[in-house]
A and B are shown apart, each in its own frame.
Chain A
Amino acid sequence: MSALNIALVGNPNCGKTALFNRLTGSRQKVANYAGVTVERKEGLFRTPGGRSVRVLDLPGAYSLEAASPDEAITRDVCRGTLPGEAVPDLLVCVADATNLRLHLRFVLELRRLGRPMVLALNLMDVARRRGIRIDVDRLQARLGLPVVETVAVKRDGAAALLARLDDALPAAAEAVADDGDLHAQVAALMAECVALPASSGGLDDRLDRWLLHPVWGLVILAAVMFLMFQAVFSWAAPLQDALAGWISVLGEAVAGALPDGPLRSLVADGLFAGLGTVMEFLPQILLLFVFILTLEESGYLPRAAFLLDRPMRAAGLTGRSFIPLLSSFACAIPGIMATRSIQDPRDRLATILVAPLMTCSARLPVYTLLISAFIPRETVAGVFNLQGLVMFALYFAGVASALAAAWVIQRLRRGEGEHVLLLELPSYRLPNLLDLGIGLWERARVFLRRVTGIILSLTVLLWFLSSYPAPPEGAVGPAIDYSLAGRIGRWMEPLFAPIGFNWQICIALIPGLAAREVAVAALATVYALSTANDAEAISALSPLIAADWSLATALSLLVWYVYAPQCLSTIAVIKRETNSWKQAGIATVYLFALAYLASLVTFQLARALGA
């Protein structure tokens, strides 16, 4: 017997993905639908009766009148009109049993399509606890399609659905274009089959009173953000050090087994250095994902969007931009990936274009190096540490520039219709461990797949540029000076002289294109230091550059790093997420232009002031 094709379809927040996880476990394939950035999730499982089933988790939709690319995909798959996608043998329509008034409307709309269909009443446990009584037999009779109860978060919570899949496919209703007012039909069904308690949603009310409070709501949001930053930047540090240590040990072992020569250099300085760069950020990014997934599953994230919509809109963004931008403080790549939750394409594009301005953690080694070398450890106004103030100013410059850039982008695109928020704030739920685990695994895999390929190929390319041609016999300067990268750096020098960069900095900018923090190691190479890691490079470099560069140059380079898209992975992800080389090009050009202008102003001003 060939595999049965089913599709899970339902409103957002109906617990569809939890049911998908329950059915398939980790046997999931995540990709994109052809030509669009809508996630396509497919899984395989076997029913107790031995039937193998291929299940598609369709994007959540409120209606077949699609209002977003996600909803358009759901509509087309349900209608069987999406090219390259098999028509599902059975639609499993998932509805939240605690919110049937909203969800039944979509069930009725889907029924009009005249396809074999089963209704899964999910979250039945919560419905019972709240005193919602549903006459399932009567509902089944009135709807004319099989109705099963599911509790996606319980171990055997999908048993009734699985048993139904072993039976023969239900006969499809006849397709009708319009069978009257759906809301009236829902009201009739609700009156006949569902008994609601006198008051419901008491917990949501009590929580929202605090979490959306004009003062306490913002205080709690600030505390949550603080905790998240604390986790991402301090708790991840020991893990990062351990991982970096293992990778360098592994790299040395592998390199030691190879004969001395270009291959060994490629493996040690190219491949393992590149791999180390990626892996060092992995603990931070995983922790960030844990936080975001927990907040998302619990229902808090849309609340954060609610609280911040007004100020973000003033800057030309939307409340939904908040999470992508927050993620970008760790790394712009997961941040840009997270913009998929923004439905308005213009708002999404604006968020993607400004996300690289958030101070990601890869900038920290560069900032640390320059601040420790050039900014005195002084106390200002009695309490503030000058070095800390400069660091804060750099973060602040990033945020302020992002808001300003978003505002300009919005201005340039004015008059193209209304920007709509219309966002459901779902009921609060306790996050489920299985769903968290699967979500985390999925995001980590996507992140690694996106990044490793790019970083690895780039590091190899940059290794080649920095190693060839080799220095002539009896050369005295550092080897990189004679290489292609060195020549490019020298050639760039006149261009960068107005912003105060010497040829050493110009050379370091080239390998620094792979990832920002690589610039520190590259500077160490240019100054012919041999160091094992960033921390060592920073302490060895500080006195050298403090003697060699002017303060104006250092400030100019700091400002350069606030803006410059010195991270080709980010550019590649922008290309992937916007499906457009043009947008990736615009992002690159405007960020480099901003970097150059800001550094020019900084350098010339600082020099005029005698720095």
Chain B
Amino acid sequence: MTLPELATGRHAVVAAVHEQGPGDAVARRLRDLGFVAGETVRLVTRGPLGGEPLLVQVGATRFAMRRAEAARIRLQPQDA
């Protein structure tokens, strides 16, 4: 499952950041910002129109990102 599929307000653990094509600068930047395997993230809220952008918290920091950016972040499967 990827980050955009996470329900609003829920936590999850990052499994990996997936590269879209070679030298994906967005993927690298996401990793630099702390989206690395094992980190807990939370989908704080979504934008008011069209459910975009997503507001994602990692550590103490909140980032706004569009769905295409967030889709690079794969999450560990959650226990139901």
Using known A-B contacts A62-B32, A105-B34, determine if residue A421 contacts B65 with beta carbons closer than 8 Å. Answer: yes
Q: In this complex, what residue of B is CB-closest to A215?
A: B48
Q: Are A201 and B60 in contact (CB under 8 A)?
A: yes
CB of B64 within 8 A of CB of A98, answer no
Tell whether B53 is near chain A: CB-to-CB under 8 Å.
yes
Q: Of B29, B30, B50, B55, which contacts A212 at CB under 8 A?
A: B55
Within 8 Å of chain B (Cβ to Cβ): is A102? yes
Contact B29 A217 (CB under 8 A): no
Chain B positions 14 through 51: 1 when the CB is less than 8 Å from some CB of chain A, otherwise 0: 00000000000110111111101000000011011110
User: Is B59's beta carbon under 8 Å from chain A?
Assistant: yes
B48 touches A102 (CB 8 A): no
Given A201-B60, A421-B65, 10 more contacts at CB 8 Å?
A: A102-B33, A102-B60, A212-B55, A306-B53, A309-B47, A310-B50, A319-B53, A418-B26, A418-B68, A424-B64
Known: A99-B60, A101-B34, A102-B33. A309 touches B28 (CB 8 A): no
Q: Is A307 an interface residue (CB 8 A)?
A: yes
Q: Are A306 and B64 in contact (CB under 8 A)?
A: yes
CA distance in complex: A218, B47 (Å): 10
Interchain CA distance A420-B31 in the complex, whole Å? 15
For the complex, what is the distance from the CA of A212 to the CA of B29, rounded to whole Å? 25
User: Which one of B28, B49, B55, B60 has the greatest number of beta carbons of chain A within 10 Å?
Assistant: B60
With both beta carbons as reference points, the residue of chain A lying nearest to B63 in the complex is identified as A424
Closest to B68 in A: A418
Q: Which of A79-118 contact B (CB under 8 A)?
A: 98-99, 101-102, 105
A63 CA to B27 CA, complexed, in Å = 13
In the bound complex, residues from chain B placing their C-beta under 8 Å from that of A212 are 44-45, 48, 55
B45 surroundings in chain A (CB, below 8 A) = 208, 212
For the complex, is B5 an interface residue (Cβ under 8 Å from A)? no
Measured between beta carbons, the chain A residues less than 8 angstroms from B34 are: 101-102, 105, 183
Q: Does A148 contact B (CB under 8 A)?
A: no
Do A307 and B65 form a contact, CB below 8 Å, given A102-B59, A319-B53? no
Q: Which of B30, B52, B59, B61 contacts A309 (CB 8 A)?
A: B52
Among B26, B48, B60, point to the contact of A420 (Cβ < 8 A): B26
Cβ A218 vs Cβ B62 within 8 A? no
Q: Which residue of B lies closest to A67 (CB)?
A: B29
B59 near A421 with CB under 8 A, answer no
Taken together as a complex, chains A and B put the C-alpha atoms of A58 and B28 apart, in Å, by 22
Let me know if A101 and B53 touch, CB within 8 A. Answer: no
Whether A183 pairs with B68 at a CB distance below 8 angstroms is no
**CB closest residue in chain A, given B60:** A99
Nearest chain A CB to B42's CB is how many angstroms away? 10
> Which of these, A214, A218, A422, contacts B63 with CB under 8 Å?
A422
A62–B26 alpha-carbon span in the complex (Å): 13
Inter-chain CA distance A424–B68, complex, in Å, is 17
Q: Number of A interface residues, CB 8 Å?
A: 38
Tell me if A305 is interfacial: C-beta within 8 Å of chain B: yes
A217 to chain B: which residues have CB within 8 Å?
A: 48
Q: Does B66 contact A (CB under 8 A)?
A: yes
A304-329, CB under 8 A of B: which get 1 and which 0? 01110111010000010000000000
Beta-carbon contact of A310 and B32 below 8 Å? no
8 pairs of residues in contact across A and B, judged by CB atoms under 8 Å:
A62-B29, A102-B34, A213-B48, A422-B26, A422-B30, A422-B63, A424-B63, A425-B62
B36 to chain A, nearest CB (A): 5
Smallest CB separation, A117 vs chain B (Å): 19
**Which residues of B lie under 8 Å from residue A307 when comparing CB positions?**
47-48
Contact B69 A422 (CB under 8 A): yes
Within 154-181 of A, Cβ neighbours of B (below 8 Å) are at: none
Q: How far is the CA of A102 from the CA of B48 in the complex (A)?
A: 27
Residues of A within 8 A of B28 (CB): 65
Instruction: For A422, list chain B residues within 8 Å (CB).
Output: 26, 29-30, 33, 63-65, 69
Does A385 lie at the interface of the complex (its beta carbon under 8 Å from any beta carbon of B)? no
B54 vs chain A, min Cβ distance (A): 10
B64 partner residues in chain A, CB cutoff 8 A: 302, 305-306, 309, 319, 421-425
B60 touches A98 (CB 8 A): yes
Q: Which residues of A are found within 8 Å of B50, using beta-carbon distances?
A: 310
With CB as the reference atom, state the residue of chain A lying closest to B49.
Answer: A310
Contact of A539 with B by CB under 8 A: no
Task: Tell me which residues across on chain B come within 8 A of A204, comparing CB atoms.
Answer: 62
For A418, what are the chain B residues with a Cβ–Cβ distance below 8 Å?
26, 68-69
Closest to A318 in B: B66
The 7 closest A-B pairs by CB, nearest first: A214-B48, A101-B59, A63-B32, A425-B62, A310-B49, A306-B64, A423-B64
Which residues on B sit within 8 Å (CB–CB) of A530?
none
Of all chain B residues, the one with the shortest Cβ separation from A307 is B48
B60 & A101 in contact (Cβ 8 Å cutoff) = yes
B62 touches A424 (CB 8 A): yes
Interface centre among A62, A214, A306 (most CB of B within 10 A): A306
Closest CB of chain A to B39's CB: distance in Å? 8
Q: Find the A residue at minimum CB distance from B37.
A: A183
In the bound complex, residues from chain B placing their C-beta under 8 Å from that of A183 are 31, 34, 36
Chain B residue contacts of A67, Cβ below 8 A = 25, 29
Report A-chain residues with C-beta under 8 Å of the C-beta of B69. Answer: 418, 420-422
A200 in contact (CB, < 8 A): yes
A102 and B61 contacting across the interface, CB-CB below 8 Å: yes
Taking CB atoms, residues of chain A closer than 8 Å to B65 are: 421-423
Which residue of B is nearest A98, CB measured? B60
What CA separation (Å) do A98 and B59 show in the bound complex?
10
Q: How distant is the Cα of A205 from the Cα of B57 in the complex, in angstroms?
A: 11
Provide the residues of chain A in CB contact with B30, threshold 8 Å.
Answer: 422
Nearest CB in chain B: distance from A129 CB, A? 14
Residue of B nearest to A62 (CB): B32
Q: CA separation between A458 and B64, bound complex, in Å?
A: 44
A319 to chain B, nearest CB (A): 7
Interface 1/0s, chain A 60-80, versus B by CB < 8 A? Answer: 001101010000000000000
Asked if A306 contacts B55 (CB within 8 A), the reply is yes
A213 CA to B62 CA, complexed, in Å: 16
Shortest B79–chain A CB gap in Å is 22
